Amino acid sequence: MNKFLQLFSTSILDGGPGPKQLIIIGITAIAMGVVISAITTKRNSRMQSYITLLPLVAALFMMMSSATSAFLIGFALLFMSSVAKTDDKEEMVGFLTGAASGVSLGLGYVGLSVAFIALSFITTALYKLALSKMPAVITKRLCIIVPEDLNYQSRFEGVLDRYTLSHYTEKVELKGFGEMYKITFIITMKDETHEKEMLDDIRVISGNAGVSIERI
């Protein structure tokens, strides 16, 4: 057990950096960069090259003097994050994971770095699995045509409360010569299999003047 724990708590640089240690850190950093990039970035994304190189760059900076490495790592991360801007959450996770693993490698903690990467992606996989089991929430636009003399403001609330998780009125328009209203709702269905039943109930209330629904 103690030997197993030493894999994660012992630095291969304790005796000083030699050619063997540098080769191990370099190969591990490149391999980590490739793996992280492959998992977290989209194909042909410009983030691929940044994330692939990031563990190696961070590791090399960390093996310099502490003051120099702290400055250079901060500068490199600032520069790379500004150049490789992304709104993709997975790519940002990959960027941060690459930076953290590179810092750990630069200190010589190869086992800890590998364990960190493995734990990060196991956690991500479990999170994605949990999301995939959740029912998809689909937002739709519901348009109802009603006669001008129909009190539409509260007429459809009961039906919408019954079939939707949420709904709100987006807009109300006069149609024709002011004889009809077109009411547009944004809704989130509880169960899409009941969509036809909802539309039938709405037609009864609206006098069958016209109902349409579309996915946004």
Domain identity same for 75 and 157 = no
Given 76, 103, 133, the domain boundary residue is 133
Domain identity same for 203 and 105 = no
Domain identity same for 26 and 99 = yes
Which residue in 80, 104, 76 sits closest to 92, CA to CA? 80
Given 98, 133, 168, the domain boundary residue is 133
Domain identity same for 107 and 197 = no
Domain identity same for 119 and 175 = no
CATH code for position 181:
3.30.70.1380
Give the total residue count for the chain. Answer: 216
Domain identity same for 129 and 145 = no
Given 83, 98, 133, the domain boundary residue is 133
Domain identity same for 38 and 12 = yes
What is the reported pTM? 0.54
Domain identity same for 62 and 81 = yes
* Containing structural domain, residue 159: 139-215
User: Measured in Å, how far apart are the chain's first and last C-alpha atoms?
Assistant: 56
Q: Note down pLDDT in tens along the chain; length 216 residues.
A: 566 566 666 778 877 778 888 888 889 989 988 888 888 777 666 777 778 888 888 888 777 755 565 666 666 666 555 555 566 677 777 878 888 888 888 888 888 888 888 888 888 788 878 877 776 778 899 999 988 877 777 889 999 999 999 999 999 998 877 788 899 999 999 888 899 999 999 999 888 778 999 988
Identity (one letter) of the amino acid at 156? F
Domain identity same for 154 and 99 = no
Domain identity same for 68 and 161 = no
Domain identity same for 56 and 126 = yes
Beta bridge partners of 141: 186, 214
Distances (CA, A) of 76 to 39, 46, 68, 84: 23, 17, 12, 12
Number of domains in the chain: 2
Domain identity same for 86 and 180 = no
The two structure tokens encoding residue 25 = 């850190």
